[in-house]
Structures are given as C-alpha cells and as structure tokens.
A = this chain, B = another copy of it.
Amino acid sequence: MTQFFRSPSDKDKKLKKAVATLIGTRPSNVELYRLAFMHTSVSKPLNGKDVRLSNERLEYLGDAVLGMVVAEYLFKKYPYKDEGFLTEIRSRIVNRESLNLVARKLGLDTLVEYDPNRRTVLARTSMYGDALEAFVGAIYLDKGFQFTRKFILKRLLSSYFDLDKVVETNINYKSQIIEWAQREGRDLRFEVTEKGSARHKEFIAELMVDNEVFATGTGFNKKKAEQSASEKAIEKLNLVKPVS
C-alpha cells in the first residue's frame, strides 16, 4: 500500500510547481499558498485561539488587493467616465461568478483542499473564487505589491476578461425579477421616491411583492434604483444571476 502513499514532500513539490507556473516565479513562502487553498471545510483548529486555520483571512486580504488594483486599472483606462461607471464595471469583474470562472480556468480547482463529503453543497458556492482571492492575498504577502499588481493585470485581467464585452453587457435585473413574479404568480411593483436637492438627487426604489417591501435599492436615477432593488431581490431569492 505504501507505494500509493504520497509523502508531504511530494505534495509540497506539486504545490510549489503549480504556484511557480501560475505566478511565473518560485514561491518564497509555500506555506502561504498552502493556506490559500485550504477551504474552510478542512479548516484546522489553532491551539487556544478563536480562529481556525483556513483560507478565509487570506481571502479578506486578497479581496482588498484585487479591488484596489482593478479600481486603479479602470480609473486609468476610462479617464472620462464617472465613479458610478467605474464602480459598476469593477463589481462586474470582481464578483462571485466571474471569480469562480477565472479560478477554474487557472486550474485552482485542482489545488483547493476541501472535504469531498460536502461536494454537492460546495459545488454551488464560491469556493474557487474565494480561493482565487486568497491566492492573491498569498502572492501579496509573498512577493509584495508591485508583483501582485502585475499578476492581476497580466494574468487575470488581460487573459480572462473581455472588457469591452463587460462594459457592453447590461444585465437587466428588473426584467428577471418581473419574469420571476409572473412565473410564481406574485404581484410585483416598484415604488420610487426622490431624495436630496435638484443637483444631488438620489432615488430610492422599493420593490413590492404582494404589497410588502421585499427589497430596496438606491441610485442616481429611477432606472438605477429599480435595477439595484431588483438585484437585491434576486440575491434574496437565490435566483441564479447570469455570469457577466
């Protein structure tokens, strides 16, 4: 039987090689990457501490690094677009569905350690996208900001996002939620109110299902407020959103 047993150092070599291929250089601290691929389902308790050892802390860090680098990239790419546009496009890039997709394309799904008994539940979650964020966090701690910035720009943004397509795609949450209501035989309407002065108007849309407020959204105009409320309703209902 021992011939099938993989020693820790074999596993180490495999991980080191995979990371080196992904980031284009040898990792300095392979432990960081091992942690990045440790899903919470296989988390380990830390003696006498509240926190369990998993990739969730690295995911928090990587999410912030990714968000910042994408923010800067869009800021420079679109010098004549306002912050509403930049925020919207960033959220289309850095969202659960697209990060999951990119993580799979990078092959992170073969590196993530998780409890296979929980596979069916996990398959629908953001396990791989979360691991991608944790991976970015690990790269940042291992190699610093400029290296990570280049990795995000070259290996993620340029390789996997057709930005023109992302910008053109206009996800219509409102029509989706209306379809849902028709399917389910529910009464759906929007109640929109205005706030603020003439020059700084904000719109608040309440999405009413059977005469009760089901979700609320805000925006610069009525359409955006309704879109936002519809998006929240879709999340609340766990309806699948299309990948952008």
Contacts and interface: CB of A to CB of B under 8 A. Distances in A.
Contact of A81 (B51, B80, B146, B200): B51
Contacts of A46: 80
A163 interface: no
A60 B75 CA distance: 8
How big is the A interface, by class?
A: 35 or more
Contacts of A87: 60
Given A121-B197, A146-B145, A236-B216, A83 B56 contact: yes
Contact of A82 (B56, B71, B145, B199): B56
Contact of A83 (B57, B71, B146, B215): B57
Contacts of A20: none
A12 interface: no
A72 interface: yes
A68 interface: yes
Interface string A83-103: 100110000000000000000
A105 interface: no
Contacts of A75: 57, 60-61
A75 B55 CA distance: 13
Contacts of A61: 71-72, 75
B60 A86 contact: yes
Nearest to A87: B60
Contacts of A49: 80
B80 A71 contact: no
Interface-central residue, A57, A204, A215, by most chain B CB under 10 Å: A57
Interface string A181-217: 0000000000000000101100010000000111110
Contacts of A65: 68, 71-72
19 contacts: A40-B200, A49-B80, A51-B80, A51-B82, A56-B82, A59-B83, A60-B71, A60-B86, A63-B71, A64-B71, A64-B72, A65-B71, A68-B68, A121-B197, A121-B200, A145-B146, A145-B149, A204-B236, A212-B212
